[in-house]
Chain A
Amino acid sequence: MDNQINASIVLAGVGGQGTLIAGKLLGILAMNLGLDVKVSEVHGMSQRGGSVVTYVKIAPEVHSPIIEEGTADFILSFEEVESVRWAKLLKKGGTMIVNTQRIKSLPVLMGQMKYPEGIIESLKNASGDDAKIVPIDATALSLETGTTKATNIVMLGALSNYFGVSDEQWQKAIEEAFATKPKTIPGNLSAFEKGRTAGQA
Chain B
Amino acid sequence: MKKIMLGNEAVARGAYEAGVKFVSSYPGTPSTEITEEIAKFPEVACEWAPNEKCGAEAAIGCSVRGGRAMTCMKHVGMNVCADPLFTASYTGVNGGLVFCVADDPGMHSSQNEQDSRNYARASKVPMLEPSDSEECRLFTKYAFEMSEKYDTPVILRLHTRVSHSRSVVDTKDPEPITVKEYVKNPPKYVMMPAFAIGKHVVVEERTKKIIEDVSNDPENVGLHKIEMRDTKLGIITDGAAYQYVRDALPNASVLKLGLVWPLSEKVIKDFASKVDRLVIVEELDPFLETEIRAMGVKCEGKELFTMLGEYTARLLKEKLTDEELPVPAFDPAKLPEIPGRPPVLCAGCPHKGLFLALKRLKVNVTGDIGCYTLGALPPMQAVDTVVCMGASVGMAHGFDKATDHEDSKKTVGVIGDSTFLHSGVTNLMNAVYNGSSITLIILDNSITGMTGHQQNPSTGKNIRLEAAPAVSLEKLCESLGVVPEAIRVVDPVDTFGCEQVIKEELARDVVSVVIARRPCALIPTGRAKKGVEASVDYDKCRKCGACARIMCPALTIDEAGFPVIDAESCNNCGLCVNMCRFDALSKAEE
Question: Cβ of B122 < 8 Å from any Cβ of A?
Answer: no
Known: A31-B4, A70-B325. A43 touches B452 (CB 8 A): yes
Q: In whole angstroms, how far apart are the Cα atoms of A38 and B136 in the complex?
A: 14
Q: What are the interface flags for B321-354 relative to A under an 8 Å C-beta threshold, 1 for contact and 0 otherwise?
A: 0000111111111111111111111110000000
- Closest chain B residue to A16, Cβ basis: B569
0 or 1 for each of B548-578: is its CB under 8 Å from A? (1 = yes): 1001010010000000000010000000000
The contact of A43 among B164, B379, B553, by CB within 8 Å, is: B164
Interface size on A, residues (CB 8 A): 66
- Tell me if A5 counts as interface (CB < 8 A to partner B): no
How far in angstroms is the closest Cβ of chain B from A13?
Answer: 10
Whether A85 sits at the interface, judged by CB under 8 Å, is yes
Q: State which residues 448-462 of B face A: CB under 8 Å.
A: 450-452
B161 touches A45 (CB 8 A): no
Asked if A87 is at the interface (CB within 8 A of a chain B CB), the reply is yes
B4 touches A28 (CB 8 A): yes
Give B371-383 as 1s and 0s: 1 = Cβ < 8 Å from A's Cβ atoms: 1001000110000
Q: Is the CB of A64 within 8 A of B339?
A: no
A106 touches B331 (CB 8 A): no
- With a cutoff of 8 Å between Cβ atoms, the chain B residues found around residue A51 in the complex are 340-341
A115 to B556 CA separation, bound complex (whole angstroms): 13
Once the chains bind, are A123 and B330 in contact (CB under 8 Å)? yes
- Which B residues touch A66, using CB under 8 A? 161, 244, 310, 312-313
- Known pairs A48-B346, A105-B340; A39 contacts B329 (CB<8 A): no
Task: Tell me, in angstroms, the Cα distance from A107 to B338 when the chains sit together.
Answer: 10
A-chain residues with CB within 8 Å of residue B338 when the two chains form the complex: 81, 84-85, 116
Contact call A127/B329, Cβ cutoff below 8 A: yes
Q: Determine whether A161 belongs to the interface, using a CB cutoff of 8 Å to chain B.
A: no
A130 to B314, CA, bound (A): 21
Among candidates B247, B339, B374, residue contacting A105 with C-beta atoms closer than 8 Å = B339
- Measured between alpha carbons, how far is A199 from B378 in the docked complex, in Å? 38
Give the residues in chain A near B451, CB-CB below 8 Å: 44
Q: How far is the CA of A15 from the CA of B374 in the complex (A)?
A: 15
Counted as pairs of residues, one from A and one from B, with CB atoms less than 8 Å apart, the total is: 193
Chain B residues bordering chain A, tally (CB within 8 A):
61
The contact of B314 among A62, A68, A90, A106, by CB within 8 Å, is A68
**Which of these binds chain A: B165-173, B207-215, B386-394, B480-488?**
B165-173
Q: Is A193 an interface residue (CB 8 A)?
A: no
Interface stretch among A91-99, A162-170, A183-191?
Answer: A91-99
Q: Does A172 contact B (CB under 8 A)?
A: no
**Is A196 in contact with chain B by the CB < 8 A criterion?**
no
Query: For residue B329, which residues in chain A have a CB less than 8 angstroms away from its CB?
Result: 70, 87, 90-94, 127, 130-131
- A residues with a Cβ closer than 8 A to B are 14-15, 23-24, 27-28, 30-31, 36-45, 47-51, 62-66, 68-71, 81-82, 84-85, 87-94, 104-110, 112-113, 115-116, 118-119, 122-123, 125-128, 130-131, 148
The 9 closest A-B pairs by CB, nearest first: A44-B109, A70-B326, A126-B334, A50-B343, A48-B343, A131-B329, A63-B246, A39-B166, A105-B341
Seed contacts A37-B167, A44-B108, A112-B339; 5 additional CB < 8 Å A-B pairs? A48-B345, A65-B165, A90-B330, A107-B340, A126-B334
